[in-house]
Amino acid sequence: MTQALATTVVVASLYALLAAGYVLVYRSTRVLNLAQGDMMTLGGYFLFLLASAAPGQPALSVATAAALSALAGYFIYRLLMRPMAGHPIFAAVLVTITLGILLRAAIVLVYTDRIRHPLPLLGLANPPRRLPGGAVVSTFDLLTVGVTAALFVALFAFLRLSPLGIQMRAAGEKALLAAQRGINFQLLFALSWALAGFAGALAGILYANNVRLDPSLGVLGLKAFAVALVGGLDSLGGVIPGALLVAAVEVLSVRYGDPLLADVSPFLCLLAMLLVRPWGLFGTKEELERV
Amino acid sequence: MRRLALTGLAMLLVVASAATPALAQYRIGMSAAITGPASSTYAPTYEAYKAYFKRINDAGGINGQKVEIAYEDDRGEPQRAAANAKKLAEGSILMVNASTSATYKPFMTESEAEKIPLLFGGGVCPREAFPPASPLIFCSTSFGSKWDSRFALGFIKEQAGGKKVKVGFAAQDIPLSRIELEFAEQLAKEMGLEAIPVVVVPGNTPDFTPFAQKLKDAGADWVLSWALWHVEVGVFEALQRIGWQGNYLLYGHQQTQDELGRLKAGNLYAFGGNTLFLENLPIHAEINNVKGQTTHPAHYMAEGWVSAMVLEASLRKCGWPCPKDKLATAMAGVSVDTRGLRGGPIEWTADNHYRKSTYYKVYRWDPTKNGIASVGGWTRLEIK
Amino acid sequence: MALGGGYFKTTYASDLALVDTRLRRTALAALLVALLLLPRFTSSFVLDLVTQTALAAIGALALNLLTGLAGQVSLGHAGFIAAGAFTTAVLVEHRMPSPLLALPAAALVGAGLGVVVGVPALRLKGLYLALGTLALHHVVLYACGEFQNHWGANTGVSIPPPRLGAWVLKGTTAWYYTLAAVAGLVLILSVNLQRSRAGRAWMAIRDREIAAESVGIDVARYKVLAFVWSSALTSLAGALFAFQRAFVSVEAFGFFLAIEYIAMVIIGGLGSALGAVLGAAFVTLLPYGIDAAVGALRVPGGAEYYLFPLKFGAFGLLMAAFLIFEPQGLVGVWRRVRNWVFLWPLRYRPLRSTS
């Protein structure tokens, strides 16, 4: 049935946007940014802030919100992650968890837990659209898929073709050697965090306009990290099949199984992947010694 | 050095003066979801209480005594509510719960153990308030189990006008919502409507589309939803997005007036017990006057205001001194005129702590008038 | 630890003793007396805080065993607590509410769960292990949620106060003594485990697993043993949690609870039993401290609205601050303070002779 397929693709694109953030940060700094979901929420709230301050200007608000989120990503790296440079990786991951807590606390402090809707403030609408084959999705569903595709194409082009992107990949693989070649890997790490913030903001903006905006959207980030792991934590290419797989399992378990199982299904996928192939579908086999 | 000592002394005096012992007064404990995901539904009750009893205390109190209410935030979480219940039970003559149904059990246990009357002022009325009522459980909230479904299905049948319609049910994965809509499903079949099995939605799901899809695929002409607002509306919006053409009936919480205006959908019907502020009754103007003291808009205050009115009437009836057992007895005979906020008075008897009759009204966005309009008048159901 | 001079042990007994110097013995006796007499001098609110700290300390000590001693990072701690609490709930629903049955049952369920988690965890290390335990936490919570939905028509299970024969455990003071005693026992157990063969094996595995294996330590067995010990103790804490709160509901065991316990262990100091206790005290008392601070500052109207995000944010901030600036945690601070006090007016320990 094509509606299930359409829903799967839409859900998968949202997960892919978030997972891209995970992969970007992991590839360069080897840190799993468990605050990616909260960075998505932050992006959504930046949009709400701008839309409330200057209603009726969607392009400007979206661009500014994304830029602010990228800037936030940069500052997060500079202030929080760079001091953690010599510490064990787990401590750095814990710091990202505390970052998530801080972001969420700040949002609730300013905006309380009320559900917000930026869509009318931007002056846009979200009518349903019929696809060939009978499936019906909303306009922003289509936008999500489109933006995800565009972002991935852009990221691939950037990382493979542009000099800065190649340097980023080099710095991610072996920072020491890259530094000896004169690559300013601190700047590139900061750039990867900024890109993660940007990707998260895109996800947050699209979701806030499509469904709703409230401080607890960060739980989507936890589901998306399952996607990142399934695809391979350091593989951008693996994100898409991983996202499709996890989204398919979730949508099918809602349709044909227990809807409450849908909440847990990304984690079941994660567990299965960890037991069978811990480095994911397309990740590099890191030094995972068996006992 | 001297300045330091003087500032220290001044601060000490300030602290000491604040710590003067309270005079004898009516001591009430209230636990509400002031923050947290459910706060937009329950925090207005807390604000209404604060504003209402500030007005009363400023005017001299009830029977010459001030009303002292201790507020605790439980964020809608049962564990916090359990801690609050223990804390509030000390020294209170009454406990008020304005929070999600998940917080009910610890409060009822504590009320039973300490023999303190318990008033539900914001959340759905539990079974123990309906006849035969538990002696300590009272409820002023406009919505209640089973009676809401009875009215809702009656309304759907009336709107269907004799045609056989398929009714779908969208529940949240909390027990009260599931049980209520499973009851509604059963009742629908008895009333001659075609009922689709209940679709249960997890409260924190990011995407309501699969659940909406299930309802659309089953061919629902009407969908009834009875849950927290964001689930009710989430399923509706998802149904709209996938191009569903049926009618949606949900219970209207505090957000009704704002949300009907935001969604502007002619097929969304909200039923409830509270009159919307757009009807501009004198009591609405009165509530508008306390605007400065609340963070939520005045038109969210109806539920809490009625509850506060009931509490005031109970305390007046109890007199002074008012120990908790006397209060429980007094409450079992109280009758309150809601002055238009509800369709009729709230009257409690020894056996019925919900009300003798309950009233419902339905509102929807009328595209022809470009505004919110009521669909018919008040419907009265007698509680037996 | 020698300060200035050396304490030379002359018998095996004195070497094995937990409290070896006269100063420590006096300090311990004073502490015990203070704890015994505490209910006489403090309000029931303070007593309740100490009780909560004791309960948190049990869980923190268990986590310290796993993460601090054995180096197995676990983000699924809340799942084990939930398992213990729900075991108690299941027994209560089946009309078997006696603590004599519930506590051992919870420990057994915890141990079983530890095996279930520990065996697959052998394949994972570091980050992947943490993520695997996180995923498992969600699965355990889902199972508990399903139980709550299908077995209890209401949300959550009320747990009656535990009774042993004719005596009912009720009231702040009784709970204080009980939980303080249990926490003390778990502390002694934890310290002894650290000194035992298993403890040494765990520390070897944590520091350099390959070296440990080459020395002949059965790494697989000890890793699973770490999980079993830790989860048994944690489930025991969960059962006590259920009895003390008198109410069990799945919402209380979310991911944030696991973060709180990780914070306790990290802020306290990884690998140290004292650190776990200090961290438990810190994390438990922090919200009340903020309450007091906000109350003292008398911020005008609406404090209730931002009290929760303030506490939440302060917790995150302090955890980040400890992670960045004080990796050794409160124990590190304590050690520095203690050294400063003992060595004053000198600043450095005297050099020990090499002969």
pLDDT of residue C355: 45
Q: Are C172 and C48 in contact (CB under 8 A)?
A: yes
Mean pLDDT of C211-219: 94
A271: chain C residues, CB-CB within 8 Å? 132, 135-136, 139
Asked if pLDDT for residue A230 goes beyond 70, the answer is: yes
The SS3 of residue C176 is helix
Q: How many CB atoms within 10 Å of residue B5? A: 9
Q: For residue B168, what are the β-bridge partners?
A: B223
* Residue C265 pLDDT: 93
> For helices A185-210 and A2-29, what crossing angle results, to 10°?
160
CA distance B330 to A257: 51
Cα-Cα-Cα-Cα dihedral of C309, C310, C312, C316, to 10°?
Answer: 130
Across the interface, whether the CB atoms of C139 and A267 are under 8 A apart is answered yes
What is the pLDDT, as a whole number, of residue A13? 95
Over residues C297-320, the mean pLDDT reads 81
C10 confidence band (pLDDT: 50, 70, 90): confident
Q: Which one of B17, B35, B176 would you mutate to disrupt binding with C, by most C Cβ within 10 Å of its Cβ?
A: B35
Nearest-CB residue to C251 (from B35, B102, B178): B102
Write down the pLDDT at residue C7. Answer: 65
* Residue range C156-173: mean pLDDT, rounded: 84
Contacts of A4 in chain B (CB under 8 A): 213
Per-residue buried b or exposed e for A29-45, using 16+ beta carbons within 10 Å of the residue's own CB: bebbbbbbbbbbbbbbb
CA atoms within 13 Å, Cβ hemisphere of A129: 12
B227 touches chain C (CB under 8 A): no
Q: Which residues of C91-104 are buried (b: 16+ CB within 10 A; e: fewer)?
A: bbeeeebebeebbe
- Contact between A137 and B201 using a beta-carbon 8 Å cutoff: no
Tens digit of each residue's pLDDT (9 = 90 or more) over B304-333? 999 999 999 999 999 888 898 899 999 998
- Residue B145: the pLDDT is 84
Nearest chain B alpha carbon to A263: B205
B202 touches A: beta carbon within 8 Å: yes
A→C contacts (Cβ < 8 Å), by residue, are: 32, 80, 83-84, 87, 89-91, 93-95, 97-102, 104-106, 108-109, 112, 222, 225-226, 229, 260-261, 263-264, 267-268, 270-271, 274-275, 278, 288-291
- Contact between chains at C219 and A274 (C-beta distance less than 8 A): no
Q: What percent of chain B has pLDDT over 70?
A: 93
**Which residue type, as a one-letter code, is found at position A207?**
Y
Residue A169 — pLDDT band, cuts 50, 70, 90?
confident
The angle at the Cα of A17, spanning A11 to A22, to the nearest 5 degrees, equals 120
Q: What are the tokens at C62?
A: 């268990």
Report chain A's mean pLDDT, rounded to a whole number: 89
Q: Looking at the complex, report in whole angstroms how far the Cα of residue A228 sits from the nearest Cα belonging to chain B.
A: 18
Residue of A48, A56, A202 lying closest to A112 (CA atoms): A48
Q: What is the pLDDT of residues C74-106, one digit of tens each?
A: 999 999 999 999 999 989 888 887 888 899 999
User: Is the CB of B78 less than 8 angstroms away from the CB of C309?
Assistant: no
Instruction: Please state, in angstroms and rounded to a whole number, the distance separating the CA atoms of residues A148 and A150.
Output: 5
pLDDT in tens, B175-211: 788 889 999 999 999 998 999 999 988 877 777 888 8
At C11, the amino acid letter reads: T
Would you call B204 an interface residue with chain C, using a CB distance cutoff of 8 Å? no
Query: Would you call C5 helix, strand, or coil by DSSP?
Result: coil
What average pLDDT does range A220-229 have in this prediction? 90
CA of C203 to nearest chain B CA: how many angstroms apart? 37
Q: How confident is the model at residue B3 (pLDDT cuts 50, 70, 90)?
A: low
C263 close to C281: Cβ distance less than 8 angstroms? no
The encoded tokens of residue B104 equal: 């009910």
Nearest chain C Cα to A280, which residue? C128
C158 touches chain B (CB under 8 A): yes
% of chain A beyond a pLDDT of 70 = 98
Burial class (CB in 10 A: 0-12, 13-18, 19+), B235: buried
Residue type, A43: G
* The predicted structure's pLDDT at residue C352: 65
Which chain A residue is nearest to residue B211, measuring alpha carbons? Answer: A254
Contact call for A99 and C266, based on CB within 8 A: no
> How far apart are the C-alpha atoms of C155 and B179, rounded to whole Å?
12
Q: Identify the DSSP state of B170.
A: E
Per the CB < 8 A criterion, the answer to whether B95 and B31 are in contact is: yes
Neighbours, chain A (3 or more CB pairs < 8 A): B, C
CB contact under 8 A, C304 and B71: yes
To the nearest whole angstrom, how far is the Cα of C174 from the nearest Cα of chain B?
16
Q: How confident is the model at residue C155 (pLDDT cuts 50, 70, 90)?
A: low
CA-nearest residue to B176 within chain C is C154
- Residue window 38-77, chain C: list those with CB within 8 Å of chain B: none
* Residues B293 and B50: beta-carbon distance below 8 Å: yes
B82 vs C contacts (CB less than 8 Å): 245-247
Interchain proximity C308–B77, CB inside 8 Å: no
Taking residues C199-223, what's their average pLDDT? 94
> For residue B167, what are the β-bridge partners?
B195, B222
DSSP state of C65: I
Instruction: Provide, rounded to the nearest whole percent, the portion of chain B with pLDDT above 90.
Output: 36
Contact across the interface for B78 and C251, Cβ inside 8 Å: yes
Query: Which chains are within 8 Å of C by 3+ CB pairs?
Result: A, B
Report H helices in C94-159: 99-121, 126-151
Using alpha carbons, select from C254, C209, C202 the residue that is nearest to residue C229: C202
Minimal C-alpha gap between A114 and chain C (Å): 12
Q: Do C305 and B34 touch (CB under 8 A)?
A: yes
For every residue of C215-284, DSSP letters joined together read: HT--HHHHHHHHHHHHHHHHHHHHHHHHHHHTEE-GGGGSHHHHHHHHHHHHHH-TT-HHHHHHHHHHHH
Of A113, A115, A120, the CB nearest to B36: A113
First to last CA, chain A: 45
Q: What pLDDT was estimated at residue C212?
A: 94
Find out whether the peptide bond into C162 is cis, omega within 30 degrees of 0. Answer: no
C-alpha span between B175 and C154 (Å, rounded): 6
Q: Are strands B26-32 and B67-73 parallel, antiparallel or unpaired?
A: parallel
Please say if the pLDDT value at position B13 is more than 60. Answer: no
How many whole angstroms separate alpha carbon B85 and alpha carbon B240? 42
**CA-CA-CA-CA torsion for C288, C289, C295, C298, nearest 10 degrees?**
-150
d(CA C43, CA C194): 36
Which chain B residues are Cβ-neighbours of C247 within 8 angstroms? 78-79, 82, 105-106, 109
Out of C138, C319, C327, the one facing A98 most closely (by C-beta) is C319
**Contact with chain A for residue C251, Cβ under 8 A:** no
| Shortest Cα distance, chain C CAs vs residue B127, angstroms | 11
Q: Alpha helix locations (H) across B65-103?
A: 78-89
C252, closest residue in chain B (CA to CA)? B79
Q: Which of C127, C316, C323 sits opposite A101 (nearest CB)?
A: C316
Cβ separation of A128 and B36 shorter than 8 Å?
no
Chain B residues in contact with A251 (beta carbon < 8 A):
210
| CB B235, CB B257: distance < 8 Å | no
Q: What one-letter code names the amino acid at A167? A: Q
Q: What are the chain B neighbours of C156 within 8 Å (beta carbons)?
A: 78, 102, 105-106
Under 8 Å CB pairs connecting chains A and B tally to 80
Average pLDDT over residues B4-12: 50
What's the per-residue H, E or C state across chain A? CHHHHHHHHHHHHHHHHHHHHHHHHHHHHCCCCCCHHHHHHHHHHHHHHHHHHCCCCHHHHHHHHHHHHHHHHHHHHHHHHHHHCCCCHHHHHHHHHHHHHHHHHHHHHHHCCCCECHHHHHCCCCCEEECCCCCEEEHHHHHHHHHHHHHHHHHHHHHHHCHHHHHHHHHHHCHHHHHHCCCCHHHHHHHHHHHHHHHHHHHHHHHHHHCCECHHHHHHHHHHHHHHHHHCCCCHHHHHHHHHHHHHHHHHHHHHCCCCHHHHHHHHHHHHHHHHCCCCCCCCCCCCCCC
- Provide the pLDDT confidence category of residue C354 given band limits of 50, 70 and 90: low
Q: Do A105 and C310 touch (CB under 8 A)?
A: yes
Q: Which residues of chain C neighbour A89 with C-beta distances below 8 Å?
A: 126-127
Closest CB to C247 among B73, B106, B174: B106
Residue B222: φ, ψ to 5°:
-125, 145
Nearest CA in chain B to A252: B210
Rank C46-50, C96-100, C275-279 by mean pLDDT and report only the highest. C275-279
CB contact under 8 Å between B206 and A115, yes or no, is no
Contact A128 B213 (CB under 8 A): no
The interface predicted TM-score (ipTM) is 0.86
Predicted local distance difference test score (pLDDT) of residue B17: 38
**φ and ψ of A130, to 5 deg:** -90, 130
Q: Which residue in chain A is spatially nearest to C223 when comparing CA positions?
A: A291
Cβ atoms B165, B196 nearer than 8 A = no
* A69-99 per-residue burial string, b: 16 or more CB within 10 A, e: under 16: bbebbbebbeebbeebeeeebbbbbbbbbbb
pLDDT, tens digit (0-9, with 9 covering 90-100), for C112-131? 999 999 988 888 888 888 88
Residues of chain A positioned with their CB less than 8 A from the CB of C258: none
- The tokens for A179 are 């530094």
